[in-house]
Chain A
Amino acid sequence: MESGMRESYGEDTGCPENCNAPDLRVQIGSLALRNPVMTASGTFGYAREFENLVDLDQLGGIIVKGISLQPKPGNPPPRIVETSCGMLNAIGLENVGVDRFISGKMPYLRKLSTPVVVNILGDSVEEYSEIARKLDGVEGVAALEVNISCPNVKKGGVAFGTVPEMAARVTEAVRQASQLPLIVKLSPNVTDIVLMAKAVEGAGADAVSLINTLIGMAIDPVSRRPKLANVIGGLSGPAIKPVALRMVWQVAQAISLPVIGIGGITTANDALEFFLAGATAVQVGTANFYDPSSTGNIVQGLKGYLQEQGEDRLVDIIGTLKIGTD
């Protein structure tokens, strides 16, 4: 992989101080990660927002805020509301657009030793491929994550994430436009997530990530109005973890691509549930907002777990869920 990976990766084995420590490295297609803990798109800004709070060079990977061809202003406020053990958002994919992302945000991002994955979205298949083309060969971009699953945009978006043929078309178009490793991010707002995963696998994806937010709603009984200006929004946080885990487990069994688990992960135990269910890596989303130290704590917690279990490598526990009596 020419454009994305940085050379510094080779010397970092995920065990800087103690080389008997468990090996946390994982591989997502041709994308090598020093550890499997990444930050989820839209919950980590363009990373710099966290530079004083998180050691960015210790993350497994950084997925930046979803990028579209043109800048987007997003939805009117209020855009977020807290719910039980979760939150609803209707940001509406506010972002700086691909050109300003490359000129304004990449110079900072490419100085980090952590692989940077760019989450992309579009209103049409052509838009997806045009963004992918623009990002191909940009120094420091390690992979693309194709968001076909955002619930907060009206045009096209929903069909891409809910109709297998459309998901496959977007995936193929991006595959043709770019050499970069290709992760397709799936929506949970479907009746059969396995069908979606198979469709993008057949269309050339290198990995799938799931889940994006679940469509939800909250109402203020006093004003009798929805709490979000957009009426509906995306539910994230610990409240969605059981749904995400179930979907990751189903998909991991059905396809042979690496699966990246996302949804309500806050602690190492949360992450471990996903690895046991078959995830090769995880993304931490909403937890970055309420506990910026969670990614670092998860990495430490994973090492501790593996040591306790007498395992040398994280990859050895992936998909080792035991079902049945023996």
Chain B
Amino acid sequence: MFQTINIAKGVNVHVNETTQFKTINFSIRFKDKLTKEKASARSILANVLQHSNEVYPSHTALRMVLDDLYGTSLYMDSSKRGNEHIVTLNVETVNDEYLSETGVLEKVMNLMYIVLFKPNFEDGLFKPSIFEREKSAIKQRIESLFDEKTRYAQQRMLEHALPGHPASISPNGTIEDVESMTNEQLVAEYRTMIEENEIEIYAVGDIQPETIAAYIREYFHFSDREKPVSAPPLELKKPKEPRVLEFEVMKQGKLHMAFYTPITFHDEKFPIMQVMNGVFGGYAHSKLFVNIREKESMAYYVSSSYASHFGLLFVLAGIDANLEEKAVKLILEQFEEVKQGHISDTELDQTKALLTNQLKEALDSARGQIEIYDQYMELSETFEPEDIIARWKNVSKEDIAAVAQDISLEMTYFLSGKEEDSNE
């Protein structure tokens, strides 16, 4: 699907030439080691770079050019995957085949070049007003997590269960680190990102790989860089407390449970864990959904998810604040069923069918293709979706029960509105 062209050591261009989409998608990913300080710096950096540059010194000027290029979407974001922090420049533009105008693509590539290589510098620093403004934007982004109680509860749970571990580091870092960031530090971070980070460049659309590669070679001048030595995944330590209860002014209780598993993304048993998660709580036919929601009418949402880079399995449920104990008991009963291998043929077949469907569906969007390849190429440079589908097919109930044996519940976190309610 993707054709890979090496541009420099540590810099690859992957192109999927296809007529499936009416647009052309680019994704340029800068990968670095994840720490909370780096996460803060790189989040601010992503915002500063997408805000303005030397050629388009105001946000308005830049956005006007994008509007003129048929609403080309251009944004940068910061995310994490395992021990890696990734800053991405995402661009999507219309294929000029559908327009009366040509040359749009080249203008867009030039704009990507400007965004990355022509920052809005004043005396060797980022323009101070923009630097301050975007620092405050990231601070507010971190703070706003509190408003979304499900995400907030998940973050709190991780902080309690795995303090300082990459699993609990926010891709935006912390407010303290954002506040203490200096302009000089950010410029240094920028240089590191452009000159030293491993870079994967993706392009999907009706375009020729050679055209993209030639353009990037000519304009982007990425030098050789070392691929960071991939550190072994950090060990999951036992949390200090197995159960944490916190209160907020809210109506629903948010139950979050963390299970540890020794099986991670790189383990050959990884596909078994995916099927296990699907049977346990991944889908509307799963044990959790059928028993907790449909049979007990206790929750609107209850599900499990597998964070394969860390070896974590989560269960999330929104329940009445008085029902924590009952919900935990029922969830653990369902987990015990999986552990005992009490899985029906239907449950197993449905899960495999839906995993397969999900993967194929994701490949029907350009973003999905990029995400999946960027991830699975870590496992094998010649990754084909059929490989993983075939591995799911071979998973048996016994395999699932066996991996479940090594999964342990380490922490239960409950964000409750109970206390406030009883005061009313």
A and B assemble together = no
Residues of A within 8 A of B (CB): none
Residues of B within 8 A of A (CB): none
